[in-house]
Structure 1
Amino acid sequence: MSWWERAVQVLWPGWVLRVLALVAVWAIAWWLVRHLGGWARRAIGRAKGVTLDERELALVNWGVDALVILTALLLTTYLLNLTELLYGVLTAAGVVGVAVGFAVKDVVANFVSGLFLILDKAVVVGDWVEVGGYSGTVKRLTLRTTALETVDGPVVVLPNSILATSAVVNDSVAERRRVRLPFAVMADQDLGQAAKVLLETAQADARVLADPAPQVAFGEVRDRTVELVLLAYCAPGDWLSLTSDLRRAALEASLKAGVELAVPIRRNL
């Protein structure tokens, strides 16, 4: 051992280095507790369409602080050579954690799912989505739940775990959405005239996109009727109103043209 190494051992014994390391660990932890929680709250609060109440904001702050303090405690036990004690504490805590985990697993799942939804921005307020057998406009997004306003008016509140584990159809993300309107025409009528009426009805509406152009497809033939399907594309925000308006306009135009349309057949093309 060189004289320099001996001098370091005399002037800076191991316990001094450990004390300095402990001071550094807790100084950094104190700074993170002071600033990191507030930063996380502001970042989530600025996310588009996210609504968090004071309890949820406090929960975010508490979670960040707890993570920082837990990390500092783990480093402290390592620096003080208390790893065996740590193993015993973790073993006991694991048993308690399993029992508590079963009790709050749904709450934790919704909370974590909400964080991922906010970070991924897969769904934001104002989007029209279909999930879990429900469809509607996202009116509120929190860490625990997502509220959908359906076409009929009622608001459906879904746990965020459903959105995280189910297939979500977000029609607002796409640049266009297809309108599909099936009609039934008697086989002995002028099918070409009926298709022309449907096509001209779609072309006359300014909300129908020119590219891709609207078209009329011939579907199934049954009970002496032929299925004609009007296909057109529009902006996602116009889909609901355009679907209703095109159906009404097509029925009115067909009556003027002397073509009788039966009740629409609801089948997939």
Structure 2
Amino acid sequence: MDSKALEELIAQYGPDAISIGIRAASALAMLLIGYWVAKFISGIVRKAMTNRGTDATLTNFLAKLVFFIIFALAAIPALAHAGIQTASVIAALGAAGLAVGLALQGSLANFAAGVLLIAFRPCRVGDWVDAGGCSGTVESISLFSTILLTGDYKRIVIPNSQVMSDAITNYSVMPRRRIDLVVGISYDADMRVAKDILKKLVDADERILKDPAPTIAVSELGDSSVNLVCRPWVATADYWATRWKLTEDIKTEFDAAGVGIPYPQMDVHFHKEA
């Protein structure tokens, strides 16, 4: 190509190429600025929520949500400035989103349930819960699944839709819990002695709270035993240790006092016909 033809090409297409290049460079600059602004503001949100002691899962979710919203708001005018028809792009993205949504209905249900879990927080990381048919300590809550760590150190990943579709029992959220013990004694045993033993054991354990006061009462006259209930209140962290110790001490003290704990039994009478 000779110099004259090159000059003609430059004269014909040069201004447009320069204009396109300037628009592309400015659009890229807008994207970069939008990215850094989104990152900066999401960082401020994350830091503010962390300083206020907000749950880590909720903090991460809101910080990421703020980042993507701000970046999207910056990306749309940047694309328009570059000469791209954003209306058609948005329509294409909407159609693609609809198709993906129909294909990923289960995942979207998990996502929606994850948003509800993070927003309403029926359980938090570190809580012991019954959820989705499983029991364990909440290790993490993400947008699609909840991870529990069982007492024998097994890791259970539960879809969030399964967690939200069933009742969630949170054993850690309240500062205190009530121990419910049912102790059966024989009908020949002295109930007053048995109740005195239970009261002595409850009063002797410093972990048992004085307020609310423990309940010790006769709950039922069973088929083969008189059933007593012992219901003391303890701090949530002391629940299992206190329950195990109290159960062991009841058996030891009843044996020492001669208060019998009967086995289930049934009397069968035979009548001989004449």
Q: Normalising by the residue count of structure 1, what TM-score does the alignment of the two structures yield?
A: 0.67
The CA distance in 2 between the partners of 1:69 and 1:217, in whole Å, is 69
The CA distance in 2 between the partners of 1:181 and 1:192, in whole Å, is 17
**Which stretches in structure 1 are left out of the alignment for 5+ residues?**
1-25, 265-269
Higher RCO structure, 1 or 2 (CA under 8 Å, sep 6+): 1
Superposition map of 1:35-54 within 5 A? 35-37=37-39, 39-40=41-42, 43=46, 46=50, 48-50=55-57
Stretch deviating more after TM superposition (203-212 or 149-158): 149-158
Larger Rg: 2
Q: Structure 1 stretches (4+) deviating beyond 6 angstroms? A: 26-30, 56-59, 88-92
Residue matched to 1:167? 167
Residue matched to 2:35? 33
Residue matched to 1:129? 129
- CA-atom RMSD in angstroms: 4.1
> Quick one: which amino acid aligns to residue 43 of structure 1?
R
**After superposition, what is the alpha-carbon deviation per residue over 1:74-115, rounded to whole angstroms, capped at 9, x for unaligned?**
9x6xxx9x9xx95x8777765543331132233334344434
Residue matched to 2:246? 246
Contact 2:131/2:166 (8 A) holds in 1: yes
The CA distance in 2 between the partners of 1:108 and 1:34, in whole Å, is 29
**Which stretches in structure 2 are left out of the alignment for 5+ residues?**
1-27, 265-274
Residue matched to 1:196? 196
Residue matched to 2:155? 155
Stretch deviating more after TM superposition (40-49 or 122-131): 40-49
**After superposition, what is the alpha-carbon deviation per residue over 1:228-262, rounded to whole angstroms, capped at 9, x for unaligned?**
11101111111122221211111111111111224
The CA distance in 1 between the partners of 2:64 and 2:175, in whole Å, is 37
Deviation at 1:130, TM superposition (A): 1.8
The CA distance in 2 between the partners of 1:30 and 1:138, in whole Å, is 38
Deviation at 1:121, TM superposition (A): 4.2
Residue matched to 2:222? 222
The CA distance in 2 between the partners of 1:263 and 1:124, in whole Å, is 43
What secondary structure does 1:163 align onto?
A: helix
Q: Normalising by the residue count of structure 2, what TM-score does the alignment of the two structures yield?
A: 0.66
What secondary structure does 2:232 align onto?
A: strand
Contact 1:179/1:239 (8 A) holds in 2: yes
The CA distance in 2 between the partners of 1:51 and 1:94, in whole Å, is 27
Superposition map of 1:37-186 within 5 A? 37=39, 39-40=41-42, 43=46, 46=50, 48-50=55-57, 63-64=68-69, 67-68=72-73, 72=77, 86=87, 96-186=96-186
What secondary structure does 1:261 align onto?
A: coil
- Give % identity: 31
Classify 1:63/1:165 alpha carbon distance in 2 versus 1 (closer, same or farther; 3 Å).
Answer: farther
Aligned residues: 230
